[in-house]
């Protein structure tokens, strides 16, 4: 099963109630080629061998199945590492290619979602920020995010990252084919303008992934909202770092995934 039940808060019809939601799992997968780290990708656990094989094919590491001499996970009960051994002929043909790649990241056999969170938490202090925003206004701005996306309106193919101040006034809005790129651009604009300290809320047109929470934490943005649900690793990391996560419920309302204290109920 690649989902995990988590307790959350639902704000709907002007009241809050607790419920349990299935959250999609997200963990890193380290792919090693010829015994050397090649890439770390974030993915939903399952079908690791097929994932690594497809990755090697689409990356151009192999052209045919027989060029993979061996492909296996580490000999542990829970592993997030796949090792790929190439045939001598294929290895001789791409040695220079492998040497030029620059994806190397966290790549130990103990790599797991817990390890990633521990390392990030050690690097980033938990968020201590008493910013609060009105639930009604937050939902309204999130559901109208497409009004800030001219590129999406013309292409229907871009993601947006919109950063707001404590009053939900937009500070920086960027679009990109990649959601991570959009957030980097939005943060970067404020960073260059020396206005990053004003950033209190980021709204994403995408799901909330681990990397997006990490970037928000680095920028010290305490509230992250997305049009799609967070992954388990993103939720775990946000919980540990004191970041509030939220997203739209259907047909109205907001799911408050963690640290709901920053969202004010009407009349309070």
Q: Which domains, from first to last, does the chain contain?
A: 27-111 (3.10.20.10), 126-264 (3.40.140.10)
pLDDT band at 153 (very low <50, low <70, confident <90, very high): confident
| Alpha-helical regions (H) of the chain | 48-58, 88-100, 113-123, 135-143, 150-155, 179-192, 210-218, 232-241
pLDDT by residue (tens digit) across 188-244?
999 999 999 999 999 999 999 998 999 999 999 999 999 999 999 999 999 999 999
- First-to-last alpha carbon distance for the chain, in angstroms, is 40
pTM: predicted TM-score of the whole model, two decimal places: 0.84
User: Is residue 88 classed as helix, strand or coil in its secondary structure?
Assistant: helix
**What SS3 state is found at 128?**
coil
Cis peptide before 219 (omega within 30 of 0): no
Residue 84 bridge partners (DSSP) = 33, 71
Catalytic residue status for 109:
yes
Residue 205 CA to residue 182 CA, distance in Å, equals 10
List 109, 112, 194, 258, catalytic entry = 109
Find the range with the poorest average confidence among 89-103, 145-159, 195-209: 89-103
Work out the number of other CB atoms within 10 angstroms of the CB of residue 32.
18
Is 35 in contact with 91 (CB distance < 8 Å)? no
pLDDT tens, 126-135?
999 999 999 9
Output the pLDDT for position 113.
75
In this model, does residue 78 exceed pLDDT 60? no
Alpha-carbon distance values, 93 to 32, 57, 69, 101, 217 (Å): 18, 15, 15, 15, 42
């Amino acid at each position: 099963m690649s989902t995990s039940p988590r307790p959350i808060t639902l704000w709907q019809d002007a009241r809050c109630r607790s419920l349990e939601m299935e959250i999609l799992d997200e963990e890193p997968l380290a792919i090693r080629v010829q015994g050397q780290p090649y890439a770390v990708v974030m993915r939903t656990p399952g079908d690791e061998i097929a994932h690594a094989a497809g990755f090697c094919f689409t990356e151009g590491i192999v052209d045919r199945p027989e060029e993979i001499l061996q492909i296996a996970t580490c000999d542990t009960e829970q592993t997030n590492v796949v090792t790929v051994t190439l045939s001598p002929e294929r290895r001789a043909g791409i040695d220079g290619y492998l040497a030029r790649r620059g994806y190397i990241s966290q790549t130990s056999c103990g790599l797991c979602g817990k390890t990633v969170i521990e390392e990030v938490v050690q690097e980033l202090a938990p968020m201590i920020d008493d910013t609060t925003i009105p639930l009604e206004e937050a939902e309204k701005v999130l559901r109208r995010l497409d009004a800030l996306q001219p590129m999406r309106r013309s292409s229907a193919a871009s993601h947006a990252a919109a950063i707001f101040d404590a009053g939900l006034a937009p500070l920086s809005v960027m679009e990109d084919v990649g959601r991570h790129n959009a957030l980097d651009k939005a943060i970067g604009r404020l960073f260059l303008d020396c206005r990053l300290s004003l950033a209190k809320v980021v709204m994403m047109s995408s799901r909330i992934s681990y990397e997006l929470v990490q970037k928000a934490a680095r920028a010290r943005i305490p509230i992250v909202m997305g049009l799609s649900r967070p992954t388990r690793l993103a939720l775990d990391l946000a919980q540990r770092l004191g970041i509030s996560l939220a997203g739209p419920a259907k047909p109205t309302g907001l799911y408050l995934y963690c640290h709901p204290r920053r969202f004010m109920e009407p009349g309070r």
